[in-house]
Every structure is written in C-alpha cells, then in structure tokens.
Amino acid sequence: MKLVEGDALKARLAADPPLVEDFVDQETQIQMNGVDFTLREVARFGDEPGAIDFDNSERRTPETFPIEPDSDGWWQLEPGPYWVVYNEIVNIPADMFGMARTRSSLLRSASHIGTALWDSGYSGRSGSVLVVHNPAGLRLKRNARVLQLVFYALDAPAAKTYAGKYQDENK
C-alpha cells in the first residue's frame, strides 16, 4: 500500500473515468498529497434514530432536511451534528481506496467531519457528518474546502469491490 501523491495523483485524476470529477477549481483543490473536497449541501438530521445491525437487513438511516444558505451563500450553523454533501464525485478503481481528514481551518473553528472509508470500486458524490462543537456555532460558505481526501494504491487490485447501497449516490 502506498500513498498516491504528486504526479501519480495528477495522472489518476486525468484517467477515464477520473478519480475525482466535478471540481469547483481543480488547480486550487489538488494538493500535494490529496484533493480538497468542497461543500455543496448542508442538512439537519430528523428526530428519529438510526438503526444499524449486522447484515444491514434492519439498517435505517435518519431522515435529513436540507438547510438553505442565506442570499450570500453562507450557512450559520448552531452547535450539533449535520449531514454534508460534497460537490465532487469520486470513482475509486479496484486498485485504490481513499481516506479523508478534516481540513485544519475547520478543526481550528472547533468543528470536525467524520467520514467512512472510500472503498475500492465505490463511485458517487459522498456525504459525511459535520459536528459543530464551538458553542458560538460555525459559518460555512457554499463551496468551502472542508475535507481532504487522500488515496492509497493497493499492491494488487481488490478481489472484491464496493457493491453496497450507496454506489452511485447523488450523481
């Protein structure tokens, strides 16, 4: 396993299909070790709980309700959890996977993003949980860079790739 960075990352981004598509500004978003993901949507969670079981036969994710930004494109978020969706679409090939980290400016604003692994074979416009810890809240502008996704090359293509419920989500 090896981090895909620099020229190798740029080559993968130029592949067909591209590793990442629907950039807001590719030149700004491509970093030396990964790709910055930008904010497309913010939603509140509903009142019902999620349900997670072993085989997903009883899995249930809570309903979310979109929050519209103000006329200048800003969301004013109170402390608490939110579901965020990114502008970018990923197309993870069988010989890679991705992991993400919250960008440091968001952490310094007492907020973080919780993510899952981007599995080999996954394709879609992903979402994550944003948690605002700052008692004063957080202001986020549409297209803000909030997360950096890094990609790892596997020693060989995965024998089994992602085929779950979220394949091709939000495309």
Q: Is residue 168 part of a domain?
A: no
pLDDT tens for residues 111-144?
A: 999 999 999 999 999 999 999 999 999 999 999 9
Has residue 98 been placed in a domain? yes
What secondary structure letter does DSSP report for 60? B
Provide the CATH number for the domain around residue 6. 2.70.40.10
What domain range is 105 assigned to?
2-45+74-153
> Does 96 score more than 90 pLDDT?
yes
**Is residue 26 a part of any domain in this protein?**
yes
Q: What is the residue-averaged pLDDT of the chain?
A: 95
Does the residue 162 lie in any domain? Answer: no
C-alpha angle with apex 14: 42 to 126, nearest 5 degrees?
20
Residue 64 lies in a domain: no
Sign of the Cα torsion 35, 170, 81, 137 reads positive
Alpha carbons 9 and 30: distance in angstroms, whole number: 9
* Number of folded domains that form the chain: 1
Q: Is residue 159 part of a domain?
A: no
